[in-house]
């Protein structure tokens, strides 16, 4: 019963990662195009700055669940390395719980804001205005999917403490 839901969660995470890489390509293309257009042809674009800033936001939050799943986030581990190995496993569980609670709270706040933006018809005030939730929905997606990854990490049996008490999740 739960296995298909976990499969969908993993596939959405993988899709977000691939789309995040596409956002990086959009950023690279937009910057290069803007430089060439502005300095070689004296024809700056109206859209490059917006494409870069929107792609940066979207890309970061599309990749966030993948980084969470792979435990690629920044971690300060000196406290975990100082405690005995038998106490490191519960410490990792508490860290995953806190990660879940923080990401779940951020998801709730962002979802509430997305709903407010839809109800009040809030628009981005750039050269070409469009609904703000087109961008902010990705923030909700990133925090929500990351919260689910932390929830999955709370399976105590799968927490593995290795050499220097650095925990991993299998």
Report the pLDDT value the prediction gives residue 163, as an integer from 0 to 100.
54
Q: Give mean pLDDT, residues 7-23.
A: 97
Q: Give residue 78's pLDDT.
A: 78
Comparing 170 with 107, the larger pLDDT belongs to 107
* Percentage of the chain lying above the pLDDT 70 cut: 95
In 40-125, alpha helices (H): 48-69, 78-82, 85-119
33-86 tens-digit pLDDT: 999 999 999 999 989 999 999 999 999 999 999 999 998 877 777 778 888 877
Contacts of 19 (CB under 8 A, 6+ apart): 58, 59, 62
Can you tell me the mean pLDDT for 142-147? 98
Predicted local distance difference test score (pLDDT) of residue 165: 46
Provide the pLDDT for residue 155: 85
Domain count, the chain: 1
What rounded mean pLDDT belongs to the chain?
Answer: 90
For residue 128, the 8-state DSSP code is S
Domain that holds residue 85: 2-169
Distance (Å, whole) CA 67 – CA 41? 40
Angle, vertex CA 128, rays to CA 122 and CA 133, nearest 5? 30
Taking the model in full, what pTM does it have? 0.87
pLDDT per residue as tens digits for the range 96-116: 999 999 999 999 999 999 999
Predicted confidence at residue 2, as pLDDT, reads 84
Q: What pLDDT is stored for residue 160 in this prediction? A: 74
CB 43 within 8 A of CB 34: no
pLDDT confidence of residue 168: 54
């Amino acid at each position: 019963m739960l296995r298909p839901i976990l499969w969908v969660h993993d596939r959405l995470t993988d899709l977000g990662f691939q789309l995040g890489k596409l956002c990086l390509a959009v950023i690279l293309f937009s910057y290069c195009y803007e430089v060439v257009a502005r300095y070689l042809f004296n024809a700056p674009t109206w859209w490059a700055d917006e494409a870069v800033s929107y792609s940066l936001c979207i890309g970061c939050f599309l990749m966030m669940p993948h980084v969470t799943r792979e435990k690629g986030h920044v971690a300060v581990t000196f406290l975990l390395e100082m405690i005995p190995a038998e106490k490191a496993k519960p410490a990792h569980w508490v860290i995953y719980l806190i990660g879940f609670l923080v990401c779940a709270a951020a998801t709730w706040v962002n979802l509430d804001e997305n709903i407010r933006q839809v109800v009040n018809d809030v628009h981005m005030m750039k050269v070409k205005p469009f609904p703000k939730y087109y961008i902010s929905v990705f923030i909700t997606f990133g925090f929500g999917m990351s919260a689910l990854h932390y929830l999955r990490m709370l399976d105590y049996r799968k927490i593995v403490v290795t050499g220097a008490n650095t925990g991993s999740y299998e």
